[in-house]
Amino acid sequence: MSISEVTKDGVHNGRPPGEATTGVNVPGGPGTPDHPGADGRYQRRRRGEPTPTSYYGQPILNKPVWGAPDIPGYLFLGGLAGAGSVISAAAQLTARCRLARASKVANATAIGLSLVALVHDLGRRGRFLNMLRVFKVTSPMSVGSWLLAGFAPATMASAFCDVTGLLRPVGALATTGAAVLGPGVATYTAALISDTAVPAWHEGHRMMPFVFASSAAASAAGLGLVAAPVAETAPLKLLAGCAALGELALTKTMEERMGVVKEAYHQGKAQKLMRGSEVLLAAGAAIVLTSGRSRARRTVGGLSVLAGSALTRFGIFEAGVASAQDPKYTVGPQRERLKNRQDIAGAQPAPTQRLDATALPEAPLGGYQ
């Protein structure tokens, strides 16, 4: 270290003049693992310096620009309406009129709110119709837009005809149409979020459709338990209880299969939401399945399942956003994949990091053509 003092007269206590004959009579530096530095360590690293696994801890991915509550809210409401449309049709078929009506109205409301949330989340809301400019099977959002273009009018027509008693044949057709498209609406959103580079979403792409299907069934059944009289909700009791337990088990399995990315579900906001959803789903399922013929118990259980299902969607959403913002979730699994590939490719020795003491040639300025 130099302790030089710069004054008007010049520099005092500066470095002694040296003879800059590079490479003569000086030991080799700590350039190789064979030559540690004077303190016995090699490659010291200070806080805030780039680490081997990231660029100053900066995320590799850009943060998803989708906002809460718009997008997780849509995942929930879309699922609710999608599964609800099948329940409406089943209730209609089995002459459970009040359940059918309640479910149809709920579906229409949920999908209406969904459309508002989806348009609200756009950067250019006036251009929402551009969603129907093309049809691309490579884009789950494009597929979803077309699904919604059929599903939303069908659910609304179905509810309108039921409530007003007008145009009954149209209502029957709309109810059928909604029931046909509904399962797609409830599950395509799994592909929507899994078809990204976001680790906590993509790594779960095999389980996500089943998590979303069970969550949709649980929420729609839960809502039916709240909205319809006891006499008509016997099937929903079973459905809400089983779907909620299924959602719990599937979500856990999905997390377990994610390797290091699992952590994203067990930290911060995502953890609180996921924990809340577990408690509500388990409690809701227990209350519903033991509710006997009590309307109050069914209502409480139904609400609990409904809220638990919503929290699952918000939790998965937040885990994804968090996982995109930490480079370790991006780099870790990719490194592992590379390592596995190398292991499979055979015992090819890794290129040695030892540096030769040969000088770097002058960098050509004019390219190397």
Partner 1 sequence: MGFFTDTSVCIGCKACEVACKEWNHVPEDGLVFTGMSYDNTQGLSADTWRHVAFIEQRKPLAGQVPGRDETTGAVAEGLRWLMASDVCKHCTEAACLDVCPTGALFRTEFGTVVVQEDVCNGCGYCVPACPYGVIDKRHGDGRMWKCTLCYDRLSVGTEPACAKACPTDSIQFGPLEELRQRADRRLQQMHASGVTDARLYGHDPNDGVGGDGAFFLLLDEPEVYGLPPDPVVTTRDLPAMWKLVGVAAVSLVSSIAASFLAGGSYRAGARK
Q: Which residue has the tokens 């449309």?
A: 85
Assess 346 for contact with partner 1 (CB under 8 A). Answer: no
Smallest distance from partner 1 to CB 276, Å? 24
CA–CA separation, 132 vs 63, rounded Å? 26
Which residues ranging from 219 to 258 are in contact with partner 1 (CB under 8 A)?
Answer: 221, 230-232, 234-239, 242-243
DSSP string, 28-66: --S-STTS--TTS-SS---TTSPBTTBBTTB-SSPPP--
Assess 312 for contact with partner 1 (CB under 8 A). Answer: no
> Do residues 108 and 61 make contact, with C-beta atoms less than 8 angstroms apart?
no
Assess 65 for contact with partner 1 (CB under 8 A). Answer: yes
- Choose which of 4, 11, 14, 94 interacts with partner 1 (CB under 8 A): 94
Smallest distance from partner 1 to CB 222, Å? 13
Assess 44 for contact with partner 1 (CB under 8 A). Answer: yes
Q: Which is nearer to partner 1, 69 or 276 (CB)?
A: 69
Kindly report whether the peptide bond that precedes residue 153 is cis, defined as omega within 30 degrees of 0. Answer: no
> Do residues 309 and 217 make contact, with C-beta atoms less than 8 angstroms apart?
no
**Which tokens sit at 299?**
């209502």
CA atoms within 13 A on the CB side of 132: 8
Smallest distance from partner 1 to CB 265, Å? 17
Q: Which is nearer to partner 1, 136 or 266 (CB)?
A: 136
Q: Which residues, 6 or more positions from 129, have their beta carbon under 8 angstroms from its beta carbon?
A: none
Which residues ranging from 157 to 196 are in contact with partner 1 (CB under 8 A)?
Answer: 183-184, 186-188, 190-191, 194-196
Assess 259 for contact with partner 1 (CB under 8 A). Answer: no
- Choose which of 170, 293, 296, 343 interacts with partner 1 (CB under 8 A): 293
Assess 96 for contact with partner 1 (CB under 8 A). Answer: yes
- Choose which of 75, 80, 81, 83 interacts with partner 1 (CB under 8 A): 83
> Do residues 225 and 240 make contact, with C-beta atoms less than 8 angstroms apart?
yes
Assess 366 for contact with partner 1 (CB under 8 A). Answer: yes
Assess 350 for contact with partner 1 (CB under 8 A). Answer: no
Residue span binding partner 1 (CB under 8 A) among the ranges 11-19, 251-259, 278-286, 310-318: 11-19
Helices marked H in the chain — which ranges? Answer: 70-93, 97-121, 140-164, 168-194, 199-202, 208-227, 234-256, 268-289, 295-324, 327-345
Q: Which is nearer to partner 1, 344 or 363 (CB)?
A: 363
Q: Which residues, 6 or more positions from 144, have their beta carbon under 8 angstroms from its beta carbon?
A: 185, 188, 189, 192
Assess 52 for contact with partner 1 (CB under 8 A). Answer: yes
Assess 289 for contact with partner 1 (CB under 8 A). Answer: no
Assess 282 for contact with partner 1 (CB under 8 A). Answer: no
